[in-house]
């Protein structure tokens, strides 16, 4: 049962690929688990599951061969992996029926709506903890929505390689961090940093 779950998580990372770049390892694992749960909701047939597993095994073997190839440069290896990844995702998507693809679109919309609700709750909590003004809340929310739009544009840009996407996402993260701090007062920034230190201290004691 555990083996099937691991395989489903791996398959889901392709069907829902592009969603978990530039986040922590723990969040990546949680995201992939969420993807696997969404994949189950597509009610894949036994034939689809077996074909997906076969594609995944082939993909892993090709990656292993690439990693063992010492006659190509790092860039060439990375580029070939990018091609393999795109081909793998296309194969996975082609296995889905029209109804499953429509279901997939709806599942992604539902998850995005859930994320919006969670983001609103986090912002409301932040308002209380840092004593934010209504103007600051409005600015933070506007910046968050702008960042989300840029994030989506980067992830959906098929002209970018995975490396280019990663670089742009890292830059966007830094830009978002600076934008957020520019909205806060020095006192609020200090309070936020103190809360982060306390939180990290609690984690280290666990």
SS3 helix, strand, coil % of the chain, rounded to 5?
85, 0, 15
Please give the Cα distance from 30 to 20 (Å, whole number): 10
CB distance 8 to 40 below 8 Å: yes
| pTM, rounded to two decimals | 0.67
pLDDT number for residue 21: 42
pLDDT number for residue 183: 96
pLDDT number for residue 153: 93
pLDDT number for residue 9: 60
Query: Under DSSP, is residue 164 helix (H, G, I), strand (E, B) or coil?
Result: helix
pLDDT number for residue 191: 92
Closest by CA position to 64, among listed 49, 77, 55, 46:
77
Q: What is the DSSP letter of 20?
A: S
Low-confidence ranges of the chain (pLDDT < 70): 1-34, 201-206
Q: What is the pLDDT of residues 1-30, one digit of tens each?
A: 444 455 556 566 666 654 444 444 445 455
């Amino acid at each position: 049962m555990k083996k099937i779950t691991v395989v489903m998580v791996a398959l889901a990372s392709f069907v829902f690929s592009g969603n978990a770049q530039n986040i922590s390892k723990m969040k990546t694992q949680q995201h992939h688990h969420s993807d696997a749960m969404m994949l189950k909701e597509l009610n894949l047939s036994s034939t689809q599951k077996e074909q997906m597993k076969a594609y995944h095994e082939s993909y892993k073997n090709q990656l292993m061969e690439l990693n063992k190839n010492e006659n190509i440069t790092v860039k060439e290896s990375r580029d070939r992996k990018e091609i393999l990844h795109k081909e793998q995702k296309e194969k996975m998507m082609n296995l889905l029926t029209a109804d499953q693809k429509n279901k997939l679109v709806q599942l992604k919309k539902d998850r995005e709506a859930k994320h919006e609700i969670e983001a609103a709750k986090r912002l409301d909590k932040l308002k209380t903890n840092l004593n934010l003004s209504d103007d600051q809340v409005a600015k933070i929310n506007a910046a968050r929505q702008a960042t989300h739009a840029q994030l989506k544009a980067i992830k959906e840009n098929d002209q970018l390689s995975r490396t280019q996407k990663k670089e742009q996402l890292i830059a966007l993260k830094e830009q978002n961090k600076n934008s957020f701090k520019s909205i806060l007062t020095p006192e609020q920034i200090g309070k936020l940093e103190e809360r982060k230190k306390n939180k990290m201290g609690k984690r280290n004691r666990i």
